[in-house]
């Protein structure tokens, strides 16, 4: 039992002195179609406004066979890049007449499956997903049930549609400019090796070395996952291995950079930190750091807009293509 009272269309009809059918037509925007008197329309709308009544979305979805909702699955909202994506998408979905449900997978396949199943049970009209694996069969199965677009990550060698930042080129530029300063030692801290962001970002890192006729030191390339604690652990492992900091550090995500900076602050408050600190993803607080940090900046607004546009196109039965969204570099160090 509950003490809360929920008004129904029947209650509004009684208060307005009209039939349930008339109240329903008015509140669902069909008064003109059925030539309902303006005075009746005004009376029903006034009663509904006084009681803060909204027509049932569930009933509307039964009539239209659309729920007016979309789903977004991200690994974690503590990751700034995914939080910005969710924020941009929520506003765009609202403007487009959709409600967005956001759930987290914690970068675990089992959790991701449960999250998607919950969204499917809610009858979402489409799904945008940051995949936590390369399980093409799983995502293809879901794509046969509803419109699906992969965001921020793609499934390698799969035709599944995606909207992803063009990471390789900007990482290449970032590392190439750093090597041009005479740097010969850059530690690379990345996430899961089989995920597309790891593949793309490492490819740009390696190409920068190759085009200068150099080879990155394999012992300075570390992979774990994209959680903050992994950035801390990889920085600690690298420092122990060298007995000092490397000349430069590249963190393949802002969450990993957070762990790197936590280690440096704990170790000696950045007194001996490397001159060259580099990262994929950006945050305004990096402007306040004691060392300049050059970063690749993703366009979260475009990632969101192009993802939603493709979901809407799929709902309309249109064919879509994948998209690479340009990123740019925030140069904080004067050498660039």
Domain check: are 217 and 239 in the same one? yes
Residue 127 maps to a domain: yes
**pLDDT tens sequence across 134-143:** 999 999 999 9
Does 218 score more than 80 pLDDT? yes
In this structure, what CATH number is given to the domain that contains residue 154?
Answer: 3.40.50.2300
CA distance 143 to 120: 11
Domain check: are 156 and 304 in the same one? yes
Domain extent, residue 219, equals 167-297
Domain check: are 85 and 152 in the same one? yes
Does 67 score more than 80 pLDDT? no
Does 9 score more than 60 pLDDT? yes
**Which region among 22-31, 37-46, 71-80, 171-180 has the lowest average model confidence (pLDDT)?**
22-31
Domain check: are 318 and 224 in the same one? no
Q: What is the mean pLDDT of residues 217-236?
A: 96
Q: What is the mean pLDDT of residues 147-157?
A: 96
Does 77 score more than 70 pLDDT? yes
Q: What is the mean pLDDT of residues 183-208?
A: 96
Domain check: are 184 and 148 in the same one? no
Residue pair 55/9 in contact by the 8 Å Cβ criterion:
yes
**Average per-residue pLDDT for the chain:** 91
Q: Nearest to residue 174, comparing CAs of 146, 199, 202?
A: 202
**pLDDT tens sequence across 234-269:** 999 999 999 999 999 999 999 999 999 999 999 999
pTM, entire model: 0.80
Residue pair 13/22 in contact by the 8 Å Cβ criterion:
yes
Domain check: are 293 and 306 in the same one? no
**pLDDT tens sequence across 261-313:** 999 999 999 999 999 999 999 999 999 998 899 999 999 999 999 999 999 99
Does 323 score more than 90 pLDDT? yes
- Number of domains forming the structure of the chain: 3
Domain check: are 161 and 176 in the same one? no
In this structure, what CATH number is given to the domain that contains residue 45?
Answer: 1.10.260.40
């Amino acid at each position: 039992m509950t003490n809360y009272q929920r008004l129904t269309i029947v209650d509004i009809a009684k208060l307005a002195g009209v039939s349930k059918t008339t109240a329903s037509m008015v509140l669902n925007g069909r008064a003109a179609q059925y030539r309902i008197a303006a005075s009746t329309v005004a009376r029903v709308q006034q009663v509904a406004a006084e009681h803060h009544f909204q027509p049932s979305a569930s009933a509307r979805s039964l009539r239209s066979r659309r729920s007016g909702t979309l789903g977004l699955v991200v690994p974690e909202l503590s990751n700034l890049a995914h939080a910005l994506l969710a924020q941009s998408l929520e506003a765009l979905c609202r403007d487009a007449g959709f409600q967005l449900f956001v759930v987290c997978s914690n970068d675990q396949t089992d959790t991701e499956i449960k999250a998607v199943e919950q969204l499917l049970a809610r009858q979402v009209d489409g799904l945008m997903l940051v995949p936590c694996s390369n399980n093409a069969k799983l995502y293809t199965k879901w794509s046969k049930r509803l419109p699906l677009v992969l965001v921020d990550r793609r499934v390698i060698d799969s035709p599944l549609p995606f909207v992803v930042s063009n990471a390789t080129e900007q990482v290449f530029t970032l590392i190439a400019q750093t090597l041009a300063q005479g740097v010969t030692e850059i530690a690379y801290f990345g996430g899961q090796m089989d995920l597309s962001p790891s593949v793309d970002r490492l490819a740009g890192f390696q190409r920068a070395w190759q085009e200068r006729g150099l080879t990155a030191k394999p012992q300075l390339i570390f992979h774990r996952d994209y959680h903050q604690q992994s950035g801390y652990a990889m920085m600690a492992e690298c420092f122990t291995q060298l007995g000092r900091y490397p000349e430069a550090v590249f963190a393949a995500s802002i969450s990993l950079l957070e762990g790197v900076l936590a280690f440096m602050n704990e170790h000696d408050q950045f007194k001996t930190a490397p001159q060259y600190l580099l990262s994929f993803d950006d945050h305004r607080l990096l402007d306040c750091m004691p060392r300049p940090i050059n970063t690749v900046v993703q366009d979260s607004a475009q990632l969101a807009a192009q993802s939603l546009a493709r979901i809407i196109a799929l709902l309309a039965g249109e064919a879509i293509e994948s998209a690479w969204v340009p990123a740019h570099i925030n140069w904080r160090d004067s050498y660039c």
